[in-house]
Structure 1
Amino acid sequence: MKLSLFDESQFYEVIDLFKRVFSASESEEDGQVIADFVSNLITTTKPEDLIGCVAEDNGGVIGCIFFSRLTVPSGQEAFILSPVAVLTNVQGTGIGQKLIRYGLDHLKSLGVHLAFTYGDPSYYCKTGFEPISENIVKAPCSLSQPMGWLAQALNGSEIHTMVGETACVEALNDPSLW
């Protein structure tokens, strides 16, 4: 398996990956919603505000994640992880966690201070994310599952309370995704 940064030549393969994975785990409709979201994320987000990471095996993409810029009140460099997809037949083999660690290492190399995500704490805590209260850092949109708001300081320090709003990239600024 090879881990690398997303390249635009992988656009259609990555969109198909997200559609297939979310159609299998949720529904065909959800698969299309996520595929449309990923397409929008890639095409409308400035390159400096988006970092994608892919896992390839046997010449094909088997996993993909995206980090997009999150503006926080402290002014620290921050990104949010969303979405994550690994081919259904290789889920549970550690590919997703390897991709996330690869992406977090890349963010650290760029001097990014904070990483956030919104999802299953039992999964994301394996890669260093910890639940964070919106009293510490407010999410950009209303959370349907507040226990899924997670963060980590990439330099190992404590995340201090920030007063004010956060802002995500336009493609992620859709309340239905939260």
Structure 2
Amino acid sequence: MEFSVYNPDEIDEIRQLFTKTFTDSESEAEGAMVSNLAYELLTTTDNHDLFVFVARDIDRNHGERVAGCIIFSRLTFASGINAFLLSPVAVSTDYQGKGTGQALINFGLNTLKDHGVVLVLTYGDPNYYCRTGFAPVSETVIKAPLPLSHPEGWLGQSLLSREIEPIDGKPQCVEAMNKPEIW
């Protein structure tokens, strides 16, 4: 498995990955919603507000295939802290349960740290994301950009220290993430 920054030529393959992964695990409607979100993030977000990483399976017989994709988009706080939101994440069902997603997230977090990012937040399954260093975050410590339908899924990780310092004010997310229905 090879981990790297995505190639913009892979947008259609990435969109198909999100569609299939979320259709298989949730529903056709969820697959369409998440793949549209990923596509919108990739096509409308300024490059300096976005980090996108892929896991590629390189097979001599079948060529390269995108097996996973993670998208980090900027969260803007009044304090100016360099923070990003990890969402969405997809790993092909063929590669789930093999550590591909965790390895890809760790690759992404290390790359973000190398680029001076100090805080990463996500909104998802605590059982999954806690395996890569995320921990629950109370909204008294860091508010979410929009109201959360599942507050237990608001998770964070400092890339500088063990503790997440409280941040005043509500962050702004990129436009593609600024939709109440995804929160």
Q: Does the TM-score normalized on the shorter chain lie above 0.5?
A: yes
Looking at structure 1, the residues matched to 2 and 158 of structure 2 have their Cα atoms a distance apart, in angstroms, of 26
Alpha-carbon RMSD across the aligned residues, in angstroms, is: 0.9
Whether the 8 Å contact between 1:115 and 1:153 is mirrored in structure 2 is yes
Say which SS state the counterpart of residue 62 (structure 1) adopts. strand
Give the unaligned 5+ runs of structure 1.
none
Summarize deviations over 1:139-174 as a string: whole Å, max 9, x none.
001001101100011012522222211110000111
Query: Which residue pairs with 1:149 in the alignment?
Result: 154
Distance 2:89 2:116 in 1: 22
Query: 2:122 is matched by which residue type in structure 1?
Result: T
Runs of 4 or more consecutive aligned structure 1 residues displaced over 4 Å after TM superposition:
none
Q: Which residue of 1 aligns with 2:22?
A: 22
Corresponding position of 2:82:
77
> TM-score if structure 1 supplies the norm length?
0.97
- Provide, for residues 93-148 of structure 1, a one-character-per-residue CA deviation record: whole Å limited to 9, x for no partner: 00000000000000000011100000111110111111000001100010011011
Q: Which residue identity lines up with residue 18 of structure 1 in the other structure?
A: F
2:92 is aligned to: 87
Alpha-carbon deviation of 1:73? 3.5
The letter of the residue matching 1:40 is E
Consecutive unaligned residues of structure 2, counting only runs of 5 or more, are none
- Greater shift, 133-142 or 160-169, is seen at 160-169
Give the length in aligned residue pairs: 178
Q: Percent identity?
A: 50
Mapping 1:121-136, distance limit 5 Å = 121-136=126-141
| Paired letter, 2:41 | L
Cα distance in structure 1, aligned partners of 2:139 and 2:78: 13
The residue aligned with 1:50 is 50
Using the size of structure 2 for normalisation, the TM-score is: 0.95
Task: Determine the structure 2 residue equivalent to 1:68.
Answer: 73
What is the Cα deviation at residue 30 of structure 1?
1.1
Match of 1:75, SS state, is coil
Is 2:167 the counterpart of 1:175?
Answer: no
Provide the C-alpha distance between the structure 1 equivalents of 2:163 and 2:13, rounded to a whole number of angstroms: 38
Q: Secondary structure at the match of 2:160?
A: coil
Residues of 2 paired with 1:171 and 1:153: CA distance? 24
1:8 is matched with: 8
Whole-Å separation in 1 of the counterparts to 2:154 and 2:66:
28
Q: What residue number does 2:171 align with?
A: 166
SS at structure 2 position matched to 1:37: helix
